Structure 1
Amino acid sequence: MAGNVPGRTWRDRAKAIDQHGQTARPEVVKPLHRTSLRVSEADRKLTDREWKQVANEYIERMGFDKCPWEATRHADDHIHITVNRVQWDGKLANTSHDYAKAQAASRHIEKAHGLEDASRKFKRERPQISKGEKESAERRQVTPEREQLRDKLARAERASNGTRASYEQKLTEHGVEFRANVSKTTGRVSGYSYGLDGHTASPKGEQQRPQEQVWFKGSQLGRDYSWNKTQERLTEQQRSSEVNRETDRPATPRTPPASMPERQPATSNRDRSSEDVGQPMTREQARKEAARRAAERQPRSLPATARTNQPTAQPTGQGRPSPMTQGNEQQRPMTREQAQEEAARRAAERQREQERNRDQDKGRGR
């Protein structure tokens, strides 16, 4: 269809392409770049002239226009392009990011020639089954292997407990062959390849060689089947399993320490009727309760003159003693009961003083 290599037959042109690379840059191990361009089943049939334009546009946008190349049409819907990366001047063409360049060139060609945008049909999260895979599966009357693997991987993942060992065990049970790409230095797993038991084929273009296991990388099955995504889901599944095991354990009743005393109510309801229990006391009831408690404690208290003869020792942690004076004689520190009585007495005095002040204010107002 197109090209820039002289020769009457395709064999002459192929020989010229090979000899140029061997002569100009014999140290280059893989000098050839091959690709194919195909139109969609929904597109029209392109003429030879249109295929020639497509090939030239692809070569120019890939940066191969200074290299020996040729495009051959093998069927109505596609062409094959062969390029020697060694340019005519002996320099090596830049092939970095060739995948991105090829996709950009394809989108340009589709738009320029009114062809269907293939990027809208292709789903990275679940790549479509190729035409060759479909035809091969139909001949053998089986579901395409790529679809079978997606289903089996999902079931093995759900059946595992979230660990890598369990995941691999479930893969084997579901008839999935696998091999991990493990770093020899760090031991880190960078990816997995999967295959179906009994799915073998000869290497492409070498039909005479024995058949080998057909492998699919996780990313070839879909974005969600890459090892990074699978590992994230397995880790989350393992955490969920641990949480469920913790939840299923019988709860151990928590009991307060034996040394912790029970809390007693702050106020006594001894003088209150059953209807008033739980209701706040009035001021008069509070005053009576304070007087009753003071009367109960009074028999156990010592007279003021006797307190001066009590030992001066005080338990550690009771706080700094406050000296009490009566007349000119300094008294010893009070006990806790004595301090409570003193506090109740002072509170009663303040209450009486407030009532007298209110009575006086009322008298002045009258």
Structure 2
Amino acid sequence: MASFDGMSPDPGRDPNATLTDLQQLLDQPVMALAEHARPAKHVWHTSVRADPGDRILSDEEWADIARRIVAATGIDPGDGQPGCRWAAVRHADDHIHIVATLVTEDGRRPDDYRSGTRAQAEARLIEKELGLHQVAPGDGTAAQRPTSAERHKAERQGRERTAREELRETVRRAVAGASSDEEFFDRLAAAGILIRTRAAPSGDLLGYKVALLDDLNKDGEPVFYPGARLAPDLSLPRIRERWSGKGAQDDPAPRQEDAVRWGPGSPSGARRETASAAWQAVLLVELGDDAVAAAHIAAAGEVLDALAKTSAAHTRRELRDAATVFERASRSQVRAARGHDRALRQAARELVHGGTALGRGEDGATTAMAIDMLFFLITAAAHWHAKKGHAQQAEAAVRSAELLRTAYRAAAAMPLGVLYQRGRRLSRPMLQRQSMVLREALPGLAEQILAESGWYALAATITDAEAAGHDPAALLAHAVERRKLDTADSVSDVLVWRLRRLADLPADATGMPENGTARRPTTARPAAARTTASGRHFGEEAPANTR
């Protein structure tokens, strides 16, 4: 243990010392004040934790860290200045707890303004000097972390996460694609959350707070958290910005054809609309102004939440984790111009109202299609944050993309396997014909694609597109417009989903005739008539400064 005087009683090592002895020693400056002058809240507490990958620090190193933290925060500044009494306790190999009384030896309050920010700044210096994992600097937009008391309570109750974290996720999912206060609160109530609202004398709603049914305080009452305490963008005024913003006239409108053509209100129609909205959003993140890009990045978080909420069992965990991780990337100091993101928010809404996908057939295949395009969008968000110097957000987006990669593999395995088998059964003349189409449309990528195992799935897709009345060479050229694909692990995978979406082909090819005849009557449209954006695929590397 370390302490302000180096000689404080250590109940962990001295059998004759007790916690009461330590408490009385720390509280002496407080008790020396007249009773009316004693502050109501005089205890300061923080924990300092090493990364799981760091080496085990010695007691002496942890003691020095504790002294530097209390000096940086103003709790005990040193250099002859009056400080507060404090003690640091090592609870495990990887962390310590520091507790102090906020009354100095001369009876004054310490200069601890913004102590948390000052402690974080000192921690970044300590990490660098001791060769530890360096945490990316924040910008004040992160959600509040659970307190030690909340974590310990969750452990006692056998919860994987604290009540604060569970509520944050539930509120995020409730707001995804919502369009009014009523719909938002109805979703919260349906999720079994306790809600209390705050109204002005006029009756206008000003705010809300939420609680879990089984999270109680010592008096047996529910513990409520205001929305703003869950995350900065979950206060009622910030939530209302999502559905009250007015978009510019030149923003792309939500593509409703997908939901209509593939079943109104169906999971597969919603996923097709999601893929289209993500395709459009990539270009706006890459080329739009900062406020518009920030709006689309924030709305991408809503889409991830909605997709996770309605996902099938075999992709649920990865999608949920991807949405949770991306939450940090959805906010920055750049204020989002809400309203410009209406296509993505509409996609999130359609996902929620479309219900849970079964994970097979058209639902499963369009899930892979949607994840594929969302990966491009999340990667574009990582690049945007990296360029802006948003280190924590860029790192979160990269981690989210990796989780999407895993979810994609699970979702795409079956539909791509079906297409692969159909491609293998194509006649040699047909395969040669499709090879010629590929070389004509993509001369710089053709040989790489032909060497991939996914070529057969792409050949089957080209055959389907041609049978549906499309010009496959034009579709291929359109699919790679504005984006190089030479660094992708599987260019053919990218093109399969892009072609099936652009040509309005069934994502699930099960049951389609071997000659590729389309199984639903549609009017083929030229590929050039479709709006396009672009993005990276799973094999493309994120920029070094985002990791």
What is the distance in 2 between the residues matched to 1:105 and 1:190? 38
SS of the residue aligned with 2:84? Answer: coil
Is residue 187 of structure 2 the alignment partner of residue 170 of structure 1?
yes
Answer with 135-144 or 9-18: which moved more. 135-144
CA RMSD of aligned residues (A): 3.9
What is the distance in 2 between the residues matched to 1:134 and 1:84? 22
Q: Which residue of the other structure, out of 89, 101, 111, is the alignment partner of 1:94?
A: 111
For 2:222, give the aligned amino acid. Answer: Q
SS of the residue aligned with 1:70? Answer: strand
Is residue 43 of structure 2 the alignment partner of residue 32 of structure 1?
yes
In structure 1, the residue matched to 2:27 is: 18
In structure 1, the residue matched to 2:208 is: 192
What is the distance in 2 between the residues matched to 1:21 and 1:159? 52
In structure 2, the residue matched to 1:229 is: 238
Task: Give 1:130 shift.
Answer: 9.3
| 1:139-173, Cα deviation, whole Å (9 max, x unpaired) | 868787666545543554357542x2443233223
SS of the residue aligned with 1:69? Answer: strand
Q: 1:123 to 1:146 in 2, by over 3 A?
A: farther
- 1:195-210 aligned within 5 A: 195-196=211-212, 198-201=213-216, 203=217, 209-210=218-219
**Contact (CA 8 Å) 1:159, 1:170: kept in 2 or not?**
no
For 1:194, give the aligned amino acid. Answer: V
**Contact (CA 8 Å) 1:25, 1:90: kept in 2 or not?**
no
In structure 1, the residue matched to 2:400 is: none
Task: Give 1:225 shift.
Answer: 2.4
What are structure 2's unaligned runs of at least 5 residues? 10-16, 77-82, 247-252, 254-547
Is residue 126 of structure 2 the alignment partner of residue 115 of structure 1?
no
For 2:100, give the aligned amino acid. Answer: V
Task: Give 1:229 shift.
Answer: 2.2
Is residue 172 of structure 2 the alignment partner of residue 157 of structure 1?
no
Q: 1:4 to 1:135 in 2, by over 3 A?
A: closer
In structure 2, the residue matched to 1:55 is: 66
| 1:52-82, Cα deviation, whole Å (9 max, x unpaired) | 1100101111112221111111211111112
What are structure 1's unaligned runs of at least 5 residues? 204-208, 238-243, 245-366
Q: 1:96 to 1:137 in 2, by over 3 A?
A: closer
What is the distance in 2 between the residues matched to 1:22 and 1:134? 29
In structure 2, the residue matched to 1:67 is: 84
| 1:332-362, Cα deviation, whole Å (9 max, x unpaired) | xxxxxxxxxxxxxxxxxxxxxxxxxxxxxxx
Rg (Cα) greater in structure? 1
**Contact (CA 8 Å) 2:154, 2:161: kept in 1 or not?**
no
Q: 1:154 to 1:17 in 2, by over 3 A?
A: closer
Q: 1:29 to 1:166 in 2, by over 3 A?
A: same
SS of the residue aligned with 1:95? Answer: coil
What is the distance in 2 between the residues matched to 1:78 and 1:25? 36
**Contact (CA 8 Å) 2:44, 2:101: kept in 1 or not?**
yes
**Contact (CA 8 Å) 1:122, 1:128: kept in 2 or not?**
no
Identify the structure with the greater strand proportion.
1
SS of the residue aligned with 2:40? Answer: coil
What is the distance in 2 between the residues matched to 1:23 and 1:138? 37
Q: 1:144 to 1:80 in 2, by over 3 A?
A: closer
SS of the residue aligned with 1:114? Answer: coil
What is the distance in 2 between the residues matched to 1:21 and 1:151? 40
What is the distance in 2 between the residues matched to 1:57 and 1:182? 45
SS of the residue aligned with 2:51? Answer: coil
SS of the residue aligned with 2:113? Answer: coil
For normalisation by structure 1, the TM-score amounts to 0.51
- 1:297-316 aligned within 5 A: none
SS of the residue aligned with 1:82? Answer: strand
For normalisation by structure 2, the TM-score amounts to 0.36
Q: 1:121 to 1:212 in 2, by over 3 A?
A: farther
What is the distance in 2 between the residues matched to 1:30 and 1:128? 21
Q: 1:137 to 1:77 in 2, by over 3 A?
A: closer
- 1:201-280 aligned within 5 A: 201=216, 203=217, 209-236=218-245
SS of the residue aligned with 2:120? Answer: helix
Answer with 110-119 or 35-44: which moved more. 110-119
| 1:99-144, Cα deviation, whole Å (9 max, x unpaired) | 2222222222222222223346999556788998699599868787
In structure 2, the residue matched to 1:180 is: 197
| 1:269-302, Cα deviation, whole Å (9 max, x unpaired) | xxxxxxxxxxxxxxxxxxxxxxxxxxxxxxxxxx
- The sequence identity of aligned pairs, in percent, is 28
In structure 2, the residue matched to 1:79 is: 96
For 1:200, give the aligned amino acid. Answer: D
**Contact (CA 8 Å) 2:4, 2:85: kept in 1 or not?**
yes
Bigger relative contact order (CA 8 A; separation at least 6) = 2
What is the distance in 1 between the residues matched to 2:45 and 2:151? 21
Task: Give 1:180 shift.
Answer: 3.2
In structure 2, the residue matched to 1:3 is: 3
Task: Give 1:20 shift.
Answer: 2.2
Task: Give 1:47 shift.
Answer: 0.7
What is the distance in 2 between the residues matched to 1:150 and 1:223? 11
| 1:297-332, Cα deviation, whole Å (9 max, x unpaired) | xxxxxxxxxxxxxxxxxxxxxxxxxxxxxxxxxxxx
